Amino acid sequence: MTWNIHGGVGPDGRFDLDRIAALIARHRPDVLALQEVDTRGRGVDCLAPLQGLGIGHFAEARTIVVPDGHYGHALFTRWPTRNVVLHDLSVRRREPRIAIETEVETPFGPLHLVAVHLGLAFLERRRQSMALAALAKRARGMPTVMMGDFNDWCSLGLVSRAIHRALPFRTRLRSFPARWPLLRLDGVYCSAPGMLAASFTDPAARMASDHLPIIADIRLPVASPHLVRQGDAIAVE
């Protein structure tokens, strides 16, 4: 599951982390990427409501840090991770951006995973998408999933074209704005045929954030009948 939670503020203007956590719990994700995690001025741990969901392996990219909190995105997995690397994708005079790269040790084999929240400007995303294409090639033969808010609103599909060679299989769901989804800003990209088994959104999220979550079923390309449901990444016999 990947979801831009808009700092926990829904279209109704209400700050409510419990409804964010409740929707995530309903889907029971094995892998979860959250964008716009914002503690600034709140005096609360925005990630505390996620405790107890069984996705305790955690990496965070804090792109803005101020005395009263921080802002950024986070990656959770049910399984252990190794080699967590934060890649600076920032472009001068634009909001700082960082990609989270890791290897997830799933019961069905290793998974190369990258979580992102890209910039709003066209030229900014062009540079960032080139960096992501290079990251996708670092997998050393491991199946790769890249997920997050790509802000790829342009009909040219700048990001998807840049990473298509390494990650040709992707979701194509409209996620923004949540109440009347028109744009495919958020997504999940996969490296191998057959990995993306299914994908969907949850309209019940439309009052929890300005984005809908993207949930995808991922099948690891191994000689096994097991299904790994990623993002939501639920393992099914």
pLDDT score for 232? 42
Which of 174-188, 203-217, 218-232 is predicted with the least confidence, judged by mean pLDDT? 218-232
* pLDDT-based confidence at residue 49 (cuts at 50, 70, 90): confident
Q: Tell me whether residue 118 is exposed, middle or buried, using C-beta atoms within 10 angstroms of its C-beta: 0 to 12, 13 to 18, 19 or more.
A: buried
pLDDT score for 222? 63
Number of domains in the chain: 1
Asked if residue 224 has pLDDT above 70, the reply is no
Mean pLDDT of the chain: 90
The CATH number that applies at residue 213 is 3.60.10.10
DSSP state of 15: B
Which of 90-104, 116-130, 192-206, 221-235 is predicted with the least confidence, judged by mean pLDDT? 221-235
| Phi and psi torsions of 54, nearest 5° | 80, 20
pLDDT score for 236? 29
pLDDT score for 155? 58
Q: What is the mean pLDDT of residues 26-35?
A: 96
Which of 33-47, 65-79, 221-235 is predicted with the least confidence, judged by mean pLDDT? 221-235
Could you tell me how many helices (H) and strands (E) the chain has, helices first?
3, 14
Could you list the residue range(s) of the whole structural domain that residue 174 is in? 2-236
pLDDT score for 226? 44
Please state, in angstroms and as integers, the Cα–Cα distance from residue 81 to each residue in 111, 148, 183, 232, following that order: 9, 18, 32, 16
* pLDDT-based confidence at residue 140 (cuts at 50, 70, 90): confident
CA-based nearest residue to 77, from 96, 103, 44: 103
